[in-house]
Amino acid sequence: MIVSIQFATAQGALGLQIIPVFNGKPLILNDKMYGTENGDSVSIEVFKFYMSSISLRNESKRFAEKSSYHLVDAEDSSSLNFKIENIPEAEYSLLTFNIGVDSTASVSGAMGGALDPSIGMYWAWNTGYIDAKLVGHSPSCNTMHHQFDFHIGGYKEPYITLRKVTLPLTACVISKGHTTLLTLNVDVATWFSGIHLTAMNNVVIPSLEALKIADNYMEMFENNTKKGGQKK
């Protein structure tokens, strides 16, 4: 049985480092061209997504971050590193989180922090938040400036795009007074799996196409932490 724990006498922290890549190589915005699995050449201008409901667990314990909403923006280096504090001492074997914003937050109206509508990741009360956004250019796109726009969101049936990710951890030990570092590679190339930009290049509302892309980017995370992590 999993026991949810929020407080303990001895607590440490987890530092998450997000590294955007494309087919395993560092993602360079705007000028660098990359090749997709279907032969399209793309440059990436905007890459943003929400990580929410972050939790750690092992066979007997579960820790869930409160008010857990983090906006990761490839253009903003400060958003690629953040810390989760007040985690009970333990060795954890699984990291879980959602890509996107849950329905509760989506219907709560204007909010602050990472959920501030002025950031540009909120549509409206009836469509909610944009869970993830990818904008770029490709010669394959028959659009103005050859631009593609993927604004993926939707919190109502049948177009719910919130996706849960579970990653196994190896020797992730949280100890009192220390920050254990966890590095995650996030591969943009997964967004284009099974997609030809000549046919699909503008997905900006909840739709079947949005579900397809959300299923794709569920696979973009890879734990790239050295065994045991790093402590500081």
Sign, CA torsion 206/98/48/113:
positive
C-alpha span between 224 and 219 (Å, rounded): 14
Tens digit of each residue's pLDDT (9 = 90 or more) over 89-100: 999 999 999 999
Average pLDDT over the chain, rounded to whole? 92
pLDDT of residue 228: 45
Average pLDDT over residues 78-83: 97
Tens digit of each residue's pLDDT (9 = 90 or more) over 40-65: 999 999 999 999 999 999 999 999 99
Residue 77 backbone dihedrals phi, psi, to 5 degrees? -60, -30
Average pLDDT over residues 4-11: 60
DSSP 111-139: --GGG-GGGS-EEETTTEEEEEEEEEE-T
Beta bridge partners of residue 99, listed in sequence order: 51, 163
C-alpha span between 122 and 112 (Å, rounded): 12
pLDDT > 90: percent of the chain: 84
Cα–Cα distance list, 164 to 8, 14, 51, 65 (Å): 27, 19, 10, 15
Tens digit of each residue's pLDDT (9 = 90 or more) over 155-209: 999 999 999 999 999 889 999 999 999 999 999 999 999 999 999 999 999 999 9
Beta bridge partners of residue 16, listed in sequence order: 82, 182
Closest CA to 201 of 120, 142, 129, 132: 142
Residue 146 backbone dihedrals phi, psi, to 5 degrees? 55, 35
